């Protein structure tokens, strides 16, 4: 059995990791840490886990954690994963970081957007960006996995196949994204209060959201040149889900059927990508609770643009489910282990 530890287990992504890993046939939950709920049982903090885990949340100790575990998941704010990574490397273990600390190939970009010093640029250089549909081969056996952000996951899965195939131009890409409130985390935040969110849709982080450089980094790799995007996220009055609508200029006059065929060819062997039929569009409700992404596309020949749509659960394929998928690859397990279930509907 793979012994797993979760740092930050009392947040939404941490709790989702616990939910997924308690049902994973090859994993034993060894350590769960929390600064806010130290000494409490995980199931007392999250009653839906009653009967699935009797683990008590403990204080964080990087070296002790690495000594007890084969793999550590860090579900922490940016700037806090480096000490864990250093302990993991010292003791020959594996790290899957769900934060931003290892997502950037150039730590200067990270420091510019996140306003903190990185602390271990050499570890960032060896980390592999954990989007399996793009980097599966590089993930096998790696020591540090940089789990992608939720918005980048949906955006990149929409755009990369069409950029690589030359169907769309890298200039002028616009991403309009909408997320449920759980994407803001479990901490107290006025924006997430019921009276603020209910019957309200609001944009935030316009032109300055920290997922912009992450998306641009990976699109630039796909295009083979520097790519700049316009990205606007919105908070919508629901708990889970991300829906992205992407607008990109067509380089050739393609039909909707041809765009969808590019997707089907690119994702032919991908277990968690579902390309929807022509005229059927992704809905967040269809992927709730699952590790699937639903993709759709329309060729708008009147404007010369491709309209690309993707739906994911921000806590699963956008975070914890993808982290488990990455762990499976790193340890040589079947990629779908512990993740083979449809979404919850309604």
The answer to whether residue 231 is domain-embedded is yes
| Final residue in a domain of this structure, among 111, 126, 141 | 126
Per-residue pLDDT tens over the stretch 258-288 = 999 999 999 999 999 999 999 999 999 999 9
CA-to-CA separations, 70 to 65, 88, 91, 206, 336, in angstroms, rounded: 9, 9, 9, 40, 19
Average pLDDT of the chain, as a whole number: 96
How far is the C-alpha of 324 from the C-alpha of 337, rounded, in Å? 9
The answer to whether residue 320 is domain-embedded is no
Domain co-membership, 218 together with 268: yes
β-strands 128-129, 144-146 pairing: parallel
The phi and psi torsions of 34 (rounded to 5 degrees) equal -160, 130
Question: At 102, is the secondary structure helix, strand, or coil?
Answer: coil
Domain co-membership, 178 together with 234: yes
Per-residue pLDDT tens over the stretch 295-334 = 999 999 999 999 999 999 999 999 999 999 999 999 999 9
* Rounded percentage of the chain residues whose pLDDT exceeds 70: 100
Provide the pLDDT for residue 57.
Answer: 98
Domain co-membership, 115 together with 23: yes
The answer to whether residue 333 is domain-embedded is no
Question: At 55, is the secondary structure helix, strand, or coil?
Answer: coil
Domain co-membership, 51 together with 84: yes
* Strand residues in 98-241 grouped as ranges (E): 128-129, 144-146, 173-179, 202-203, 229-235
- The DSSP code for 320 is I
The answer to whether residue 250 is domain-embedded is yes
Domain co-membership, 99 together with 160: no
Per-residue pLDDT tens over the stretch 146-185 = 999 999 999 999 999 999 999 999 999 999 999 999 998 8
Domain co-membership, 238 together with 191: yes
Domain co-membership, 177 together with 261: yes
Domain co-membership, 52 together with 164: no
Q: What CATH number corresponds to the domain at position 309?
A: 3.30.360.10
β-strands 293-300, 305-312 pairing: antiparallel
The answer to whether residue 69 is domain-embedded is yes
The number of residues making up the chain comes to 346
Provide the pLDDT for residue 129.
Answer: 98
Domain co-membership, 181 together with 118: no
The answer to whether residue 238 is domain-embedded is yes
Domain co-membership, 175 together with 59: no
Provide the pLDDT for residue 11.
Answer: 96
Q: What's the total number of domains in the chain?
A: 2
The answer to whether residue 26 is domain-embedded is yes
Provide the pLDDT for residue 192.
Answer: 85
Per-residue pLDDT tens over the stretch 45-78 = 999 999 999 999 999 999 999 999 999 999 999 9
Mean pLDDT of 192-196: 90
The answer to whether residue 329 is domain-embedded is no
- Domain hosting 107: range is 2-126
Domain co-membership, 218 together with 281: yes
Rg, the chain, Cα only: 20
Provide the pLDDT for residue 187.
Answer: 79
β-strands 27-33, 71-74 pairing: unpaired
Mean pLDDT of 337-342: 96
Provide the pLDDT for residue 184.
Answer: 85
Q: What CATH number corresponds to the domain at position 105?
A: 3.40.50.720
pLDDT confidence tier of residue 30, bands split at 50, 70 and 90: very high
Residue 69 is among the residues annotated as catalytic for this protein: no
Domain co-membership, 36 together with 122: yes
List 15, 18, 150, 324, catalytic entry:
150
- Over 80: is that where the pLDDT of 252 sits? yes
- Over 90: is that where the pLDDT of 95 sits? yes
Mean pLDDT of 129-157: 98
Mean pLDDT of 88-112: 96
- Over 90: is that where the pLDDT of 15 sits? yes
- Over 80: is that where the pLDDT of 188 sits? no
How far is the C-alpha of 68 from the C-alpha of 123, rounded, in Å? 22
Q: Which stretches of 166-236 are DSSP H helices?
A: 194-197, 212-223
User: Sheet harboring 293-300: ordered strands across?
Assistant: 202-203, 229-235, 173-179, 242-249, 305-312, 293-300, 273-275
């Amino acid at each position: 059995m793979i012994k797993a530890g979760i740092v930050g287990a009392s947040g939404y992504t941490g709790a989702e990791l616990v939910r997924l890993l308690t049902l994973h046939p090859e994993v034993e939950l060894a350590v769960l840490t929390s600064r806010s709920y130290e000494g409490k049982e995980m199931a007392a903090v999250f009653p839906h886990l009653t009967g699935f885990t009797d683990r008590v949340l403990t204080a964080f100790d990087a070296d002790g954690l690495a000594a007890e575990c084969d793999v550590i998941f860090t579900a922490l704010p940016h700037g806090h994963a480096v000490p864990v990574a250093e302990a993991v490397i010292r003791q020959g273990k594996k790290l899957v970081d769900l934060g931003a600390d290892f997502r950037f190939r150039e730590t200067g970009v990270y420091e510019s957007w996140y306003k903190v010093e990185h602390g271990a640029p050499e570890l960032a250089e060896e980390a592999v960006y954990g989007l399996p549909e793009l980097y599966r081969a590089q993930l096998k056996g790696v020591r540090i996995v940089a789990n992608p952000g939720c918005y980048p996951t949906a955006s990149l899965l929409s755009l990369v196949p069409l950029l690589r195939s030359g169907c769309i131009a890298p200039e002028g890409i616009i991403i309009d994204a909408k997320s449920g409130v759980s994407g803001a985390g479990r901490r107290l935040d006025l924006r997430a209060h019921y009276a603020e969110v209910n019957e309200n849709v609001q944009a935030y982080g316009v032109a300055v959201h920290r997922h912009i450089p992450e998306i641009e980094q990976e699109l630039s790799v796909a295009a083979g040149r520097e790519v700049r995007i316009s990205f606007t996220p919105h908070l919508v009055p629901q708990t889970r889900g991300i829906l992205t609508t992407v607008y990109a200029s067509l380089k050739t006059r393609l039909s909707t059927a041809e765009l969808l065929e590019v997707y089907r060819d690119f994702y032919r062997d991908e277990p968690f990508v579902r390309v929807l039929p022509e005229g059927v569009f992704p809905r967040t409700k269809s992927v709730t609770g699952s590790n699937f992404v639903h993709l759709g596309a329309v060729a708008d020949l009147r404007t010369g643009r491709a309209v690309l749509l993707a739906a994911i659960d921000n806590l699963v394929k956008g975070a914890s489910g993808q982290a488990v998928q990455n762990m499976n690859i790193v340890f040589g397990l079947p990629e779908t282990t512990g993740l083979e279930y449809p979404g919850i509907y309604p």
